[in-house]
Amino acid sequence: MLFAAGCNLRCPFCHNPELVMGSGDLCIEEALGFLRTRVGKLQGVCVSGGEPTLMPNLAALLMEIKALGFAVKLDTSGTAPQILGSLLEKELVDYAALDVKTSPAKYSAACGRSIDHELVRESVRLLQSSGVPHELRTTAVPGLVELTDIQAVGEWLGRVRRYVLQQFRPGKTLDPEYRWRNPYDQTWFGQAAVLAQSWADEVIVRGV
């Protein structure tokens, strides 16, 4: 996995605060030098962050990774649909995981700053029309993601192929207050999954 430092969001529950506050640059040669030692040992590379789409050299990096024979998974917040669309058009992404933070009404609160959530919907549309395998995923943070928000996400995005509900892990977070927030139990996730099944073809629960 390659981590790009720097992020345009300040999600209070983020468990990678050191990446959020860093630079968006990633040394291509250093990364590729490491990956060359893994040819034949790994099948794919996940490019995550931070937010990888902030990297000015992201497309060049993905081209080089694919030239080495690796499949590419991209993790993104979906806030840069133009960049995502370009990567998809160039066939540089084999699988994508897009974070859907919460319902539109709470989006800016979940992102820690004012965000146009329609950018995320546009990124979802691009993924759906591209044919590239992908998942939409929501970290179930108490207070930011309630059962009503799960239903609202479906009303906002419409029918989707794969939706992942993942457990929030207290501990190291960008906002110290979230370090002590108790995560949801299995009952909550069961109820949330039932709601999501009304608008997602496949619902996956992780980390519970």
> What's the confidence (pLDDT) of residue 18?
82
> What's the confidence (pLDDT) of residue 22?
67
Q: May I ask the CATH architecture of the domain 2-206?
A: Alpha-Beta Barrel (3.20)
Phi-psi region of 91 (alpha: psi -120 to 50; beta: other; left: phi over 0): left
Element holding 140 (H helix, E strand): strand 134-140
Could you tell me the mean pLDDT of each successive run of 10 residues in the chain, 208 residues long? 86 88 65 85 89 91 93 97 98 98 97 96 97 97 98 97 96 93 97 98 96
> What's the confidence (pLDDT) of residue 2?
81
Burial class (CB in 10 A: 0-12, 13-18, 19+), 113: exposed
List the end-to-end C-alpha distance of the chain, in Å, as a whole number: 23
Element holding 73 (H helix, E strand): strand 71-76
> What's the confidence (pLDDT) of residue 76?
97
> What's the confidence (pLDDT) of residue 27?
66
Residue 171 to residue 102: CA distance in whole angstroms: 21
**Are the beta carbons of 94 and 101 closer than 8 angstroms?**
no
> What's the confidence (pLDDT) of residue 5?
81
Break the chain into its structural domains and give their ranges: 2-206
